[in-house]
Amino acid sequence: MIRAPTALPRIVLHELVHANQHYGKVDSLLAECVKEGICDFVVTLLLGPHDSTHYTYGRQNETALWERFAKEMDTQNYSNWLCEGTNAKDRPADLGYFIGHQICAAYFAARGDVPAAVGEMLHVTDFRAFLSESQYEGSAAVYTAII
């Protein structure tokens, strides 16, 4: 997919965050989505909310998405959430980025200390514990409280 030049700052910043992530084993859908979500969350902190189709859809369907994601998050099947491309049916592709972003937004809200929270997000060693500490349960209120 070719994107507009105006998307470049978000893309570069997202990839820069990846370059600064230091994780152990990333072996589940949850871990992979949190890894991507952290990048998108840092972009949100610095450049404002995402206005892409999958973020709009995610905000409108967050509770239902979370319920579905929660059933799949411990698997290694990413096909319904990441790298879907044109295979996504009846919804936008790559909603795992949105779910990961929301988990990170909830973690940030629970933590409150910006430098510490971002530093901790870049060094997650236990993704289940990270989710638990975030207290995320599919609530759209988290998104509006942070941004």
Number of domains present in the structure of the chain: 1
At 142 the pLDDT is: 55
Domain range for 102: 26-146
139 in any annotated domain: yes
Rounded CA gap, 120 and 131, in Å? Answer: 13
Tell me what the pLDDT averaged over the chain comes to: 89
Residue range 25-81, pLDDT digits in tens: 789 999 999 999 999 999 999 999 888 888 999 999 999 999 999 999 999 999 999
Residue 141: pLDDT band with limits 50, 70, 90 = low
pTM for the full model? 0.90
